[in-house]
């Protein structure tokens, strides 16, 4: 069974209530339910977490490293500032997909510099809550490496 960690950063616990015109009305709990259903279909062992604390996200990335899990991450506000999270993501041997609900490149300039995305295998943005399921399907269909595969170690972009 392949392992997958879906990690969510600050303020994503407020989805559905926070700026619904921008982020939509889907809650993080609804996204988790959809991801768990898809994980069951795809035979993924899934960890799903959200934290407003950078240290917790880094600890979960370390757990993904130790468990040889792929990572889907929405770092939210940490994407533009967290060198520590970027460094942790670079350690992941399996693919990392960064997701954003909105098209960050069509937003204010402060959202356009995606520091953490430089450690990702792929990036999905602008498709609302569906970015999570799209990322899961992308991992299953294209880029997932078998544990211990040398291709896994070669899949990262470096800065």
Residue 113's domain comprises: 2-153
Give the number of domains in the chain: 1
Query: Is 23 tagged catalytic?
Result: yes
What confidence score (pLDDT) does residue 149 get?
47
| Residue 88 resides in a domain | yes
Contacts of 7 (CB under 8 A, 6+ apart): 49, 50, 51, 57, 60, 61, 71, 72, 73, 74, 75
What confidence score (pLDDT) does residue 152 get?
41
What confidence score (pLDDT) does residue 105 get?
86
Q: Which residues pair with 45 in a beta bridge?
A: 3
| Residue 118 resides in a domain | yes
CATH number for position 44: 3.40.50.9100
**The pair of three-digit structure tokens given for residue 134, joined into one six-digit string:** 């799209």
Per-residue tens of pLDDT for the chain, all 159 residues:
899 999 999 999 999 999 888 888 999 999 999 999 999 999 999 999 999 999 999 999 999 999 999 999 999 999 999 999 999 999 999 999 999 999 998 877 867 789 999 999 999 999 999 999 999 999 987 655 555 444 444 444 333
Catalytic residue among 62, 86, 100, 111: 100
Residue 87 assigned to a binding site: yes
What confidence score (pLDDT) does residue 142 get?
64
| Residue 158 resides in a domain | no
What confidence score (pLDDT) does residue 108 get?
77
The count of C-alpha atoms lying within 13 angstroms of the C-alpha of 87, restricted to the half-sphere facing its C-beta, is 7
| Residue 114 resides in a domain | yes
What confidence score (pLDDT) does residue 113 get?
80
Calculate the CA 119 to chain-centre distance. Answer: 11
| Residue 96 resides in a domain | yes
The answer to whether 66 touches 125, Cβ cutoff 8 Å, is no
Q: Quote the CA–CA distance of 122 and 27 in Å, as a whole number.
A: 24
Give the position of tokens 């960890």: 47
pTM: 0.88
Residue 101 assigned to a binding site: yes
| Residue 103 resides in a domain | yes
| Residue 159 resides in a domain | no
| Residue 31 resides in a domain | yes
């Amino acid at each position: 069974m392949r392992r997958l960690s879906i990690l969510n950063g600050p303020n994503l616990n407020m989805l559905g209530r926070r700026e619904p015109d921008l982020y939509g009305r889907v809650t993080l709990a609804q996204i988790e339910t959809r991801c768990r259903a898809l994980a069951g279909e795809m035979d993924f062992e899934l960890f799903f977490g959200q934290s407003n604390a950078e240290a917790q996200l880094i600890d979960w990335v370390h757990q993904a490293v130790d468990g040889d899990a792929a990572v889907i991450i929405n770092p939210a506000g940490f994407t533009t500032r967290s060198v520590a999270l970027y460094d942790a993501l670079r350690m992941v041997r399996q693919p990392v997909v960064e997701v954003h609900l909105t098209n960050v490149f069509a937003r204010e300039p402060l959202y356009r510099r995606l520091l953490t995305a430089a450690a990702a295998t792929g990036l999905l943005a602008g498709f609302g809550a569906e970015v999570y399921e799209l990322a899961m399907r992308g991992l299953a269909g294209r880029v997932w490496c078998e544990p211990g595969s040398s291709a896994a170690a070669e899949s990262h972009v470096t800065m």
